[in-house]
Amino acid sequence: MATILKAGQLFTPLRRVEQPLVFIEDGQITEITSAAHREIPGQARVFDFANRVFAPGFVDMHVHGGAGHDVMESTPEALPAIEQLLYRHGVTTYFPTTITASSTSTIEALSRLADAIEAHGKNHTKERARPAGIHLEGPFISRVRPGVHPVADLIAPGLQAFEQFWEASRGHIKVLTIAPELEGARQLISEAARRGVCVSMGHSDADLQETQAGIAAGARHTTHTFNAMRPLEHRDPGITGVALADDRLSAEIIADGVHVDPMVVRLFLRAKGVDLAVLVTDGTAATGMPDGQYRLGSLLVEVKDGKCLSHGRLAGSILTMDQAVRNVMKFANWDLQSAVRLATLNPARTTGLAGGVGTLAEGASADLVVLSDQGEVVQTIVRGQLV
C-alpha cells in the first residue's frame, strides 16, 4: 500500500510545488505531484500536514557530536544518541567528523565509524540520522591555525599516513580537511581527490598562491570559512579571499552568530550565493545539552552562554541545522526555500552523495523534514518511516 504525504508547499529545493502530494513505497519517493492535478487513490495511507512545508532531509557534512557524546567515543550508546538528536533537528544524513588525535586513536575511531556506516546501509533504525561517510578534520592541518586541535598530534601530509587512515575507514573517508600550504599537501590532495574524496581547505595559513595551488591539485571546498584560516587583507586575500571569490570552490560556514558575526554571514552569502554556500553545524557533544563540561575528541570543552570553549578558544559549536537555516533567514533576509538549499542540495552535491540525497524527486530516498513556514521542525521522516 502506498503512503501519501500532503502539505501546503514542497521545496525540491530547486523548485516549489503548491499543495504537494508525495507518494512513497518501500522507502522511496515514487511520485511528486500536486493535489490540483492528481486524485488520491482510495486505498492509500494519507498523512496530511495541512499548511506545513516539505523539504529534503538536512545534510550535515561537519559534525563532531551531540547529546553529550562525541563521534570518536568507543561507547556503544554514543552514535545512536547523536543520531537521534540530529534527527530531531531535521538532519537525515550526516558525516561524523573527527578531530586531531593520536594516530592510534584516529585509526580506532575510523574503524568504528566504518562499522556504523556499513551497519546503517544494511539495517535502518527509526528516528535516527544515518552516517554517509567520514569527515577527517586533521591531522594534516597548520600549526599556525590549528584552532583547538592538539598541536602535538598534528602530522605532515603524507600518502603513507593517509593510506593507514583510508584502510582503517575501509574507504569511507568522504571529506578531508587539509592545509594546502604544507609540504606534501598537494600530492595528498591529488590522491584523495582521485579516490573521490571531497578535499576541503581549512585550518590553514595559505596565501593566495598556495590556495590556488591547492585548487589546481584537486581541492574544491573550504572548511568553516573565516574560522582557523588566514584573515582577509585587501593586499593579501589569502585563503579567505579565494574562498569568497573563486567559483570553483563551495564553502561552508557556521552560521550561529558566534563563530562569524551576522553581518559577515550576510557578506559570505552574497559572495557564494545560493549555489555554493553550505551550512554546517560543527556541533559538539554539548549540542542539545545544558551548560557544563563535555568531550571533543581528547579535549575537555566548556559550554557557557551559548559558546563552546577550550582554554578560552572556540571549540566547535552547539548549533543545530534547523537553527542555522533560521539564522540565514534572519541574518540575510533570505526566504526559507533558499536557506533550505544550503542545508540540503548543496552539501549533498559537495560531498558527492548519490541516490537523490538532498533533494526530493522520484526515485530518491524518502528522507524529508516537515517545517513550519519559519523553519521550525515539525517532523523528520527517514526512508518514508513516519512516527
Indicate which residues carry an active-site annotation.
282
C-alpha cell of residue 349: 552535491
Check residue 154 and report its DSSP letter.
-
Widest Cα–Cα separation across the chain? 67
Residue of 321, 319, 287 lying closest to 301 (CA atoms): 287
Of 300, 297, 315, whose CA–CA distance to 108 is shortest? 297
Helix (H) or strand (E) holding 103: helix 103-122
Instruction: Report yes or no: 188 and 180 within 8 Å, Cβ to Cβ.
Output: no
Cell of 119: 551497519
Cα dihedral sign for 113, 344, 260, 182? positive
Q: How far apart are CA 120 and CA 208, in angstroms?
A: 41
Say if residues 368 and 384 touch (Cβ distance below 8 Å).
Answer: no
What kind and span of H or E run contains 45?
strand 45-48
Q: What are 120's three cell numbers?
A: 546503517
What one-letter code names the amino acid at 286? A
Give CA angle at 147 (144, 148), nearest 5°.
Answer: 125
Query: Between 208-217 and 185-194, two packed helices, what is the crossing angle to 10 degrees?
Result: 30
- CA 248 to mean position of chain CA atoms: 19
